[in-house]
Amino acid sequence: MFSMAKHLGIFFCLLIVLLGSCKNDIQKLKESLDSRMLNTERAEDVTIIYSKDGLTKAKLFTKNFYHIQNVQPTYIEMSKGLRVEFYNDSLQVQSTLTAKYGKYYEQNGNVLVRDSVVVTNLKKEQLNTEELVWNEKLQKFYTEKFVKITTPTQIIYGDGLESNQNFTEYKITNIKGMIGITQKALPL
C-alpha cells in the first residue's frame, strides 16, 4: 500500500510539472503571435461589386485582401494594389482608379488609396496624386495632397481636389499652375 501511495505521489508531482510547463509554452505561443492576424480574413484575387438601388456602381479588383476585425474601426487592407471601375446606370465604365495600396473603412464607407494613384475618365482626362479618399456614400473623391490633372489641352497642378467618382466634374482647391499643350504633344 505504501508503495502505491508513493507511486501516486510521484505521478501527481510529474503531472503538476507537466501542466505547469504546458502553461508556459502556451503563454510563449500567445506572446509570439501577431495579434493583428487574429480575427483576420485573407483572400487573393478578389473582386468586390458595389451596388446601390440594385445597380452596379463600381467593381474593385485586388490581388490580396485582408479583413482586419479586431480593431476599431474595422477595415479591409489591399497592400498589393487595386483597380476600381466606376459605372453609369447602363453598366458602361465611366472612370477607372488604380493605386498600389488601399484601405477600406467599413463604418464610414471611405476608401483611402495611396502610392501612384491614377484616375482616368472617358474625356481622356487623368488625375495623378499620391493619396485620395473615395467616399462611397457620396460617390466623391477627395484629397488635400498635390494633384496633377492632364487633359487633352492642358496640365493643371495644385493642392487639394474634390471630384465626382466619374471624374467629370472636379475642383482643385489651390491651383499652383497651368500649362497649355497641343493635342499631338500629349500621349494619353
Q: Any idea where the domains of the chain sit in the sequence? A: 1-33, 39-185
Q: What is the dihedral of CA 149, 150, 156, 161, to 10 degrees?
A: -10
**Residue tagged 484601405 (cell numbers):** 103
Q: Which three cell numbers stand for residue 151?
A: 487633359
User: Region 51-69: what's the mean pLDDT?
Assistant: 89
Compute the distance between CA of residue 44 and CA of residue 67 in angstroms, rounded to an integer.
12
Residue 156's pLDDT band (boundaries 50, 70, 90)?
Answer: very high
Report strand pairing: 55-68 vs 82-87.
Answer: antiparallel
User: Region 30-51: what's the mean pLDDT?
Assistant: 73
Cross-strand bridge partners of residue 118: 98, 128
Judge whether 65 and 44 are in contact, CB under 8 Å. yes
Q: What is the pLDDT of residue 51?
A: 86
Q: What is the dihedral of CA 180, 183, 187, 188, to 10 degrees?
A: 90
Residue 163's Cβ-side half-sphere holds a number of Cα atoms within 13 Å equal to 25
Q: What is the pLDDT of residue 163?
A: 95
> Is the confidence at residue 85, as pLDDT, over 80?
yes
> Whole-number mean pLDDT of the chain?
83
Residue 96's Cβ-side half-sphere holds a number of Cα atoms within 13 Å equal to 10
Compute the distance between CA of residue 87 and CA of residue 57 in angstroms, rounded to an integer.
5
> Is the confidence at residue 150, as pLDDT, over 90?
yes
More confident residue, 131 or 53: 131
Residue 1's pLDDT band (boundaries 50, 70, 90)?
Answer: very low
> Is the confidence at residue 40, as pLDDT, over 90?
no
Compute the distance between CA of residue 78 and CA of residue 67 in angstroms, rounded to an integer.
9
Q: What is the pLDDT of residue 154?
A: 93
User: Region 122-147: what's the mean pLDDT?
Assistant: 94
Q: What is the pLDDT of residue 107?
A: 86
What CATH superfamily is the domain 39-185?
Lipopolysaccharide (LPS) transport protein A like domain (2.60.450.10)
